[in-house]
Amino acid sequence: MGKFAFLIHPLSLEDVARYEPGAKGKGRAIIEKILSWMPCWTTAHITGVRSQATGKEIEGWFITVPLMPEHFVTLPREEVYGRILRACEMAAELGAEIVGLGAFTGVVGDGGVTIAERSPIPVTTGNSLTVVAAVQSLLRGAREMEIDPAETTCTVVGATGSIGSAAVRMLGDSVGRMVLVARNQTRLRKFAQEIAGEISAPVSFTTDVSEGVRQAQLIVTATSSTLEIIHPEDLQPGAVVCEVSLPHDVSRRVAELRPDVLVTEGGNMRVPGEPRFMRVREQGEEFDLGLPPATALACMSETMALALEGRNENYSLGRGIRLQQLYEIEEMAARHGFELADLRAFDVAISPEQIARTRDAARVARLGRAVGGNP
C-alpha cells in the first residue's frame, strides 16, 4: 500500500483550536506562547483513498507544523526550515514515501526547493494541481455568469508566484487580454516580457492591486498575503473571482455588498474512494478539514494522486511550473478519479439557487452600468 503525508499549519486562532482541541478557549497570547515551544505532531490518519483506474488504495497522515502565517515571515528562515524538515522526518518515520507541503510550508523561501534537498523523502507543494483546479473553477464560474473568456480581460494577482505564473500560462490562450499584478515591479516587468512571447492574449502589468482588478471581469488571486487585498469597490459588475489564497485575499465585505459578484474557492477537489480523515490523538473522532465530506484541497489531492500513481519523486517545486506538467497532473488526477468539487466561497457552499441570484444581479448591474455610460 502506498503511503503519503501532508503538512498543515494553522491559518488562524480558530484553526489552532481545530487542530489541537486543548487550545480551545485560550487567548491569543497564550496560544502564541504554546506555539513557540510546541513540536510538530501527527494530527490525522487518512484511509480509504482509492484509485478509480487501478483500485489501488493508499493511506496517509496530516502532520501539523505549529506556525501561524506571520511566523513564516518573521522568524529566522533556518528556524522555519528546521520545523518543516522535522515534519518531513516524521513523515518518513511513519513510512510515507512522498510528502506534500501545505499552505505557507510550500511558500517560504524558494518554494520547496531547499526543503526537497534536505528532506529524507520526495516533496511536492501541490501547486500544479492547484493551478489546474483554479483554472477549471474560474472557467466554470465564467460559464455560470455568462462570460465569454475569449472576449474578456483576466487579471492574475500574484502573477509572478508559482501558482500565479502557471495560471497565466494556462489561461493565456483562452482570454481576450491578460493583466498581471505583483508587488515586485522588476520581477513583474521581466515576467510580462517573457510571457508576452508565449501566450496569444495581449499582456499588461501593474503593481497596484485595485487598478489591476478594476480592469477585469475574470480574476485569479494567488498571493501569500496575510491581509485582505481585494475589496467590493474594485470589482466590475458581474465579475468572477477565483481565490486560491489562504488566508483569504478577498474581503468578506464582497459577500455582503456585491450580490452581483461570484467568488469561488479555486482549490477544492473530490477524493476518490471512501476517504476518512480521523484524528490520531482523539481516537474515533473525525478531523474537520473545514470542507464537505470526501473533499480535499487540490494541493493535498496532488500528493494523493502522485502516491496512487507511484510517482514518489519531487514534483511541484520552485517558482516555475511547466505547462506540460500541468497537463500531466490534470490527466493523472482525472484518471484516478479526482474531480473539481462543488463551488464554495468564504468557506461556505454556493447553492445553484444562489448562483442564479448572483447571475440575475449581475445582469441588472451590467445594464445599470451601460445605461449610466460608464466604461
Give the pLDDT of residue 372: 57
Domain ranges (residues) in the chain? 2-128+270-339, 130-267+343-372
List the one residue out of 98, 95, 97, 107 whose CA is nearest residue 67. Answer: 107
pTM: 0.90
- Asked if residue 349 lies in contact with residue 265, where contact means CB atoms within 8 angstroms, the answer is no
Q: How far is CA 370 from CA 71, 150, 155, 237, 375, in A?
A: 47, 21, 22, 10, 8
- Asked if residue 90 lies in contact with residue 63, where contact means CB atoms within 8 angstroms, the answer is yes
Q: Name the phi and psi angles at 264, rounded to 5.
A: -130, 145
Give the pLDDT of residue 370: 61
C-alpha–C-alpha distance, residues 352 and 355, integer Å: 5
Q: Which three cell numbers stand for residue 234?
A: 474594485
C-alpha–C-alpha distance, residues 11 and 179, integer Å: 29
Burial of residue 87 (number of CB atoms within 10 Å: 0-12, 13-18, 19+): buried
Give the pLDDT of residue 371: 57
C-alpha–C-alpha distance, residues 163 and 366, integer Å: 31
| DSSP E strand stretches across the chain | 2-8, 41-50, 57-64, 99-101, 123-124, 153-157, 177-181, 203-206, 218-221, 240-243, 262-265, 268-270, 273-279, 295-297, 339-340, 344-345, 348-349
3 state SS of 166? helix
C-alpha–C-alpha distance, residues 92 and 87, integer Å: 9
3 state SS of 184? coil
HSE-CB of 142 using CA atoms within 13 angstroms: 22
Q: Name the phi and psi angles at 272, rounded to 5.
A: -70, 155
* Residue that is written with C-alpha cell 442564479 in the block: 356
Q: Name the phi and psi angles at 306, rounded to 5.
A: -65, -40
C-alpha–C-alpha distance, residues 223 and 249, integer Å: 7
The pairing of strands 99-101 and 177-181 is: unpaired
Question: Any idea which fold 130-267+343-372 has?
Answer: Rossmann fold (3.40.50)
C-alpha–C-alpha distance, residues 39 and 291, integer Å: 26
Q: How does pLDDT run along the chain (375 residues), one tens digit per residue?
A: 899 999 999 888 778 777 777 777 777 778 777 777 789 999 999 999 999 999 999 999 999 999 988 888 888 999 999 999 999 999 999 999 999 999 899 988 888 999 999 999 999 999 999 999 999 999 999 999 999 999 999 999 999 998 999 999 999 999 999 999 999 999 999 999 999 999 999 999 999 999 999 999 999 999 877 788 899 999 999 999 999 877 788 999 999 999 999 999 887 899 999 999 999 988 889 998 888 899 999 999 999 999 999 999 999 998 788 899 999 999 999 999 999 998 888 878 899 999 999 999 999 998 877 655 554
